[in-house]
Structure 1
């Protein structure tokens, strides 16, 4: 979440008149994140989140995101539910941007995830993958392996400003992953594709909600697992925490067991996931709009994670056995 586009109070009040959420009492921008402009709304009917979609989010993809949240919520997944306006639509326009209002989920995201948090995420991710079955819409993953070269080309000329040698390091890894090694025969479904700690809410140690589906798409389910391994199972110094990984993978496996092929491919998928977030963070780090209320995330975090994943040879290195996901 972030704020790129400001909204005047009178313009917002007129916009909210399209919804049955009562009188606007207050609103404020939410600074975290890098993709869209987000505001916390407080009305006489309660709290809501207003999102203005921009940057990499294409308007044509928004019905997929909003429809997916509605689909998952109807199947018991704790995720935001888009509100319909008086015309029965979940997507509107505000300040020249596509806009939507979703319900507010209680909880906070864990600044220092524990193994208990990781287990909760593993269970919730597997349940989300199962609940996604039957969703009628589809969206290709524009940020899979075929999309990495264009991202690299955006940032390559300035990559060494961030760290000397970064351009060559990324180029070599990209050549490797493009070299006919990326899996194409694993179970497919709807994935979140961005399930970082700041997109998961907890009340104490109980998971209370999954948010921000603006990267959701159809792809390999195990790729979503790989993204989470990178996002949840490293410490602040980027050392890998086997205890967290074991808790995450075992909790996932109790809801949806990974196939043998998925287990074999997981180290490569985690390596690719590390490169994907290194690239998008690098592009964002080098291109923050002037005056934006945004905190770009450190791309070098994913250099360190990628170096770790380059040395992983099997799922055993994540602290679990090859069969049954029990160490």
Structure 2
């Protein structure tokens, strides 16, 4: 989450008048993340999240995202569906952006999960995948393996401003990942971004899965690899207690199941996840407006993760 587009109190009040959600009390920009502009909105009727969709989100994809959330909510998943206005519309316009008012979920995101919390998060992903088995809509992954080479080329040698030699290191790793990518594994609807800050928890209980704006159709177990790359390391990209990563995978396996082929593919899928997030972070690092209220994320944290996966191989998933 972030704030690129500023919303006046007058514009927000007029926006809220379309809904049965009370009168505006306060609104505060949320600086975490890099994708959209987000506000925490309090009204006389409760608390909401207001999201304005910025350049990376194609607004033509919003019906897919919200249909996915409605589908999961109907099956009991702890997800935040968009709130519809009095005419039944979820997608609005505000300050020249597509915008939605979204249900607020209680809970906190974790910085250092315990094994018990990681297991609960793995279970939540497994249950989410089970709930999506009969979800019929399809959205290609616009940041999938075939998009990483063009993004690397777009970043170009400017990446070496972040770390000398970074472009060549990523290019070499991508050569390996592209050659070994397991394209015959089962494909499904996935979250594709289930970092700790996109999972809300109270104690060891998951209370919310949020930020579905990278959700897409791709290799199902790639979702777990992305999650492992986020949960099994600290914010600097250094490994946590190996029990955290093991618990995450065990929780997923218990809730949904992992085939031997999927388990064997986790190392290369995790390397791919590292390249994907390293590249998008590098692009943001090089291109984020100086005056944006946004927390830039360190690309090198994913280089360190990639190095760990390359050094430890299959052992990190054992």
**Alignment TM class, shorter chain as reference:** over 0.9
Runs (4+) of structure 1 exceeding 6 A deviation are none
Structure-to-structure mapping, 1:44-83, within 5 angstroms = 44-83=44-83
Q: Could you say which residue in structure 1 is the equivalent of 2:211?
A: 212
TM-score normalised according to structure 2 size: 0.97
Query: For the Cα contact (< 8 Å) 1:82–1:90, is it kept in 2?
Result: yes
Q: What pairs up with 1:88-167 in 2 under 5 angstroms? A: 88-167=88-167
C-alpha contact (below 8 Å) 1:235/1:241 kept by paired residues: no
RMSD: 1.2
SS at match of 2:194: coil
Q: Give the whole-Å Cα distance in 2 for the aligned partners of 1:40 and 1:240.
A: 31
Pairing of 1:193-232 with structure 2 (within 5 A): 193-232=192-231
Structure 1 residue 153 displacement after superposition: 1.5
How many angstroms apart in 2 are the aligned matches of 1:272 and 1:25? 44
Q: How many residues align?
A: 317
Partner SS for 1:286: helix
Deviation of 1:55 (Å): 2.1
The change in CA–CA distance for 1:240 and 1:310 in structure 2 (over 3 A counts) is farther
What is the deviation of 1:312? 4.0
Can you list the C-alpha shifts for 1:132-151, whole angstroms capped at 9, x where unaligned? 12222110001111110121
Matching of residues 156-305 of structure 1 within 5 Å: 156-179=156-179, 181-236=180-235, 238-305=238-305
- Contact residue 69 and residue 80 of structure 2 kept, 8 A: yes
- Residue deviations 1:258-299 (CA, integer Å, cap 9, x gap): 011101111110010111001001101111113100011000
Structure 1: distance between partners of 2:151 and 2:310: 21
Alpha carbons 1:267, 1:312 under 8 Å: kept: no
Name 1:309's counterpart in structure 2: 309
The superposition leaves residues 229-248 of structure 1 with CA deviations (integer Å, 9 ceiling, x where unpaired) of 11001235512532111111
Larger deviation, residues 98-107 vs 232-241 = 232-241
The alpha-carbon deviation at position 205 of structure 1 amounts to: 2.0
Higher deviation after alignment, 128-137 or 29-38 = 128-137
| 1: CA distance, partners of 2:141 / 2:194 | 15
Provide TM-score, normalisation by structure 1. 0.94
SS state of the match for residue 275, structure 1? helix
SS in 1 for 2:287: coil
Question: Unaligned stretches of 5+ in structure 2?
Answer: none
Specify every segment of 5 or more residues in structure 1 that has no aligned partner in the other structure, as ranges: 320-327
